[in-house]
Homo-oligomer: A and B are copies of this chain.
Amino acid sequence: MKLHHVIESQQFSLPLLHELFQTAQRMEKVVARGGTKDYSGKIMASLFYEPSTRTRFSFESAMIRLGGRCISTESAREFSSIAKGETLEDSIRVINGYADVIVIRHNEVGAAKRAAAVSQIPVINAGDGIGQHPTQALLDLYTIQKELGNIDGLKIAMVGDLAQGRTVRSLTYLLSKFERVKIYFVAPETLKMKEDILQHLEEHNIWYAEETDLTKVAPEVDVVYQTRIQKERFGDRIEDYERSRGIYIIDPSILKLMNKRSIVMHPLPRVDEITIDVDTDQRAAYFRQAQNGLFVRMALLSMVLG
């Protein structure tokens, strides 16, 4: 299947997801045998207007494991010609002359789409503001498939900041493509999942429930998807932030309520919403999940580079 730009999770059909996951699985073997040289002539430009060392490292490692090379900026917003008044579109056109694929992270919603509109080389969205972060959602989904063997019939609790967390929004979109999925949204009143997503689920006949008690939900689900209450997204609403923190903590007492074959996921970074004594439990899947980011990003890069 043809894949050019990777802008939003909605663009992934079931067959495309299937192909992506098969490719990612193949990439696990490529990494195990020390990488490939297949893309040794290719250059990836990491264009990060909003810093994220983790995501950047993940993409750059993926490109290198494929044999490719990277040119990279950690803080394009501060350093680049944008400071001189250049438009994003012009920057992208110029970088088209220097690279074979652009990975962009930006602080403004829709930036990746604008970049793709003028780019002749593939653009991959590595997060734009509170908009999309499709590769995170794809690696989340890949992790569920790999850990549980199946996504159809999944029961999942999404916990924490559901209003502003772009990963849970994107993941919910993707899950709505599967069969018999049940989603529990567990959030404080101020951070509830927004109406547009709930409506989308209703239109697609996906079962969901809004809950406030994690202890009631934990025994019911295959996946507890915990998220960080993101202080930086609250701005000056400090009170809302303080009220929201600490309500839902995954600790051994929650683990005890969960099924033996269920897992705990988290997009990372975490602060204290999962206690560190959970880490050694086999059900703590979040570091494996981060590692899966490498395989999924290798798969995406190989697909867009052809």
Contact = CB atoms under 8 A, between A and B. Distances in A.
Contacts of A294: 97-98
A69 B85 CA distance: 31
Interface residues of A, number: 56
Contact of A61 (B54, B79, B99): B99
Nearest to A266: B90
A72 B290 CA distance: 18
Contacts of A71: 56-57, 60-61, 64, 70
A271 B53 contact: no
A270 B86 CA distance: 6
A71 B44 CA distance: 13
B269 A97 contact: no
Interface in A61-91: 61, 64-65, 69-76, 78-81, 84-86, 89-91
22 contacts: A35-B41, A45-B57, A51-B78, A51-B79, A53-B73, A53-B80, A54-B80, A54-B81, A56-B73, A57-B71, A57-B73, A57-B98, A58-B97, A72-B72, A74-B75, A75-B79, A94-B268, A94-B287, A96-B291, A97-B287, A97-B290, A97-B294
Interface of A: 34-35, 41, 43, 45, 51-54, 56-58, 60-61, 64-65, 69-76, 78-81, 84-86, 89-91, 93-99, 228, 230-232, 268-272, 276, 287, 290-291, 293-294
In the A-B complex, the 10 residue pairs with the smallest Cβ-Cβ separation, listed nearest first, are: A86-B269, A97-B291, A81-B269, A61-B98, A34-B41, A85-B271, A51-B79, A53-B80, A60-B71, A94-B290
